[in-house]
Copies of this chain bind each other. A is one copy, B any other.
Amino acid sequence: MMDEERVACAYLLKVAEPPAKALVGFAGEVGMVDAAKLVKAGDVPSAVADETSARKHFDGAEQDLAVAAEVGARLVVPGDEQWPAWSLLPLTNAGARGLRWACPPLGLWVRGKGKLADSLQRAVSVVGARSATGYGEHVAAEFGFGLADRGMTVVSGAAYGIDGAAHKGALRAGGCTVAVLACGIDRAYPAGHSLLLDRIAQDGLVITEYPPGTPPGRHRFLVRNRLIAALGAGTVVVEAGQRSGARNTAASAAALGRVLMVVPGPVTSPMSIGCHELLREGLATSVSSVAEVVESVGLFGEDLVTKPEAVARPTDGLDHESLRVHEALEMRAGHSAERIAEVSGVPLQRVRAVLPALELTGLADRCDSGWRRVKA
């Protein structure tokens, strides 16, 4: 059964092109159902009228809900238990601080069996260039897999290149991934990712604030990017050219106070220019592994990276003087302590103390001709 609030939300999502900051505020004040009635009647403050006057006569809410149901999608509204209020909070806060584009969606069309708010509780956004390199796609897939493998949800935009690789990596790990669209929930864009979107809907979630039938548009990608930036506790830019949508998402993430991370790449690759610029400008943290991503977005004390142990050398831990004495020893022939003092430049009495210590640790021994180095 379609409840009144859901119909009202579907109507408003159709009427106002996001981000509809005044309308979101208005609906928050008077409630979704009354907001819809007042918008339809044209009885709204001028800021709300600006966002709604062009389409307020549209009346396709029930049809949109029906079309969505046909593709297995539902409309999640702010009153619902699975409304991701916590994930969207930075948008509300940044909007209140005056950031023009920052406002949460009025509602979200959701396709997939998973629970929306629960899935987004530990989420990382992975974004990047459509024209990614093999390197970038490899890293995106590895990150997608690794994050999902650790129980994190991967959020991305379903585009070719980095987005697709990240989604696929997460699916391969049997984890959850969320695709945020810049078009209607019934549209597959890009068309070549139609099957991928079906798989995401099966094991994860496909979401959008655009009503069914909405075609993707350039400004819609930019508007959609604010959701990707908000929904991950951090955003990882895997590859980004000098001018790319990924940099827009990165800027949004930074503006929302989310952790911004970039993957370094060869400086000879145009697809890493955007990442390196963000690094150089001090806007992003460098991440080279899933462990570092998790550490960067993780809670204090949890998720700290364990650095791989460097290969130990037998001379590790020797002080500077012992190292010099050890260097002065030869493997082929033994020498007197006096000679070793000369070669090393270490005072004789110290050499006499260091040599037995080196012998104890197995780094030196005595032979007929004196002290010599022991092969490690």
Contact = CB atoms under 8 A, between A and B. Distances in A.
Interface string A287-331: 111001000000000000000101100010000100110011000
A17 B345 contact: yes
B292 A280 contact: yes
Contact of A17 (B242, B344, B348): B344
Contacts of A286: 264, 276, 279-280, 286
A341 B54 CA distance: 5
A218 to B, nearest CB: 6
A55 B342 contact: yes
Interface in A215-245: 217-220, 242-243
Given A54-B344, A308-B242, A345-B17, A219 B327 contact: yes
Contacts of A350: 50
A311 B17 CA distance: 28
Interface in A225-278: 242-243, 263-268, 272-273, 275-276
A5 to B, nearest CB: 22
Nearest to A19: B320
B327 A218 contact: yes
A190 interface: no
A139 B265 CA distance: 13
Given A267-B139, A276-B288, A49 B17 contact: no
B51 A345 contact: yes
Given A243-B311, A345-B54, A267 B279 contact: no
- Counting from the closest, the 6 A-B pairs by CB-CB distance are A17-B345, A264-B264, A54-B341, A267-B288, A279-B286, A217-B327
6 contacts: A242-B308, A263-B267, A264-B275, A265-B266, A272-B288, A273-B288
